[in-house]
Structure 1
């Protein structure tokens, strides 16, 4: 009985270690400028403990002079990096969250947007399918969302509670 309980505890610890490594963080973002603005949520996974995140998903809305459009896809997979809590390049410049490649995403109306850091200043570029590109300097804000437990972590916690309840039941039953 003791060996079985020890085996279950080891299995639970190994499962917890594996599921916590796959934790995805979410970040709320917003940007605004004279020609277009937007807001939404990034889903990202941290590279070790480096404060650099690989962005794996994006949702939100972008508003321009032509109306508003939903963000439907992340473009340039593998190039979309986020530095959080960001780099402060100097007193006069805002916090930088991206490198020169930035993060690119597609809109439902066919346009695409790229948020990036060029020359120490955050910048956004909106490109239309007709070849028109509108660059502008932006105010970009990013905040980390509160963490929500993964379903697998909750399931592991629940099975642990059932295991403890079962062990207590057996202990009380057989003394």
Structure 2
């Protein structure tokens, strides 16, 4: 019986060792220009340890001359303004220029009103480009700010399972000891 209890403990330890704590990298962003501005949150995953993140989701609001519109979705790669949906954080800060958080292709997202937005680094400074459904594209120099949120660990099912096995093994051991 001791071998069975020892086996359960080893299984629990292996389960705990291989379980990973996942977290979502989230970034608060804001941009403001003369014609339009907005703010929201990007969800992204880092490419290794490169400080380059693939943006996988976006939420928020954009305001322009016609009013306010919610961000409805991330636009697929190369679907608007050659976007690659890559975010650089903490950003590149060349001398005498503002911090750059995007490459020249930028991150693109759709608005509920049908317009599209691309945040990018074109011509050496941050730009926001709004594209209306009728093909009108309006670029403008914008102030863009990005802040990384603290990662929030998600509960790991395997870790919970492993602690359950520890509890069962302990209960069996106590039952056998005092039986």
TM-score tier by shorter-chain length is 0.7 to 0.9
1:172 to partner: Cα distance: 2.9
Aligned alpha-carbon RMSD (Å): 1.8
For 1:141 and 1:171, the matched residues in 2 are separated by: 57
Deviations for 1:65-90, whole angstroms, at most 9, x for unmatched residues?
A: 10001111111337100111111112
Equivalent-residue separation in structure 1 for 2:174 and 2:66 (angstroms): 71
- Within the alignment, does 1:133 sit opposite 2:137 as a pair? yes
Residues 50-65 of structure 1: pairs in structure 2 closer than 5 A: 50-65=50-65
Aligned to 1:80: 85
Aligned residues: 168
Shift of 1:128: 0.7
Task: State the SS of the aligned residue for 1:174.
Answer: helix
Q: Deviations over 1:39-74 (max 9, x none)?
A: 111111111111111001111110001000111111
Could you tell me how far apart the structure 1 residues matched to 2:17 and 2:61 are? 41
Contact 2:12-2:162 within 8 A present in 1 as well: no
The question of 1:165 aligning with 2:147 is answered no
Which consecutive aligned stretches of 4+ in structure 1 deviate over 3 angstroms post-superposition? none
Structure 2 counterparts to residues 23-172 of structure 1, below 5 A: 23-77=23-77, 79-90=84-95, 92-151=96-155, 153=156, 155-172=157-174
- When residues 146 and 46 of structure 1 are mapped into structure 2, their CA distance, relative to the original with a 3 A threshold, is same
- 2:20 counterpart of 1:7: no
- CA offset at residue 121 of structure 1? 0.8
SS of residue in 1 equivalent to 2:133: coil
Task: Note the residue ranges of structure 2 that are not aligned, 5 or more in a row.
Answer: 79-83
Unaligned runs of 5+ in 1: none
Q: TM-score, normalised by structure 2?
A: 0.85
Is the CA contact (8 Å cut-off) linking 1:122 and 1:139 kept in structure 2? yes
Q: For the Cα contact (< 8 Å) 2:8–2:169, is it kept in 1?
A: no
The answer to whether the Cα contact below 8 Å between 1:89 and 1:120 also exists between their aligned partners in 2 is: no
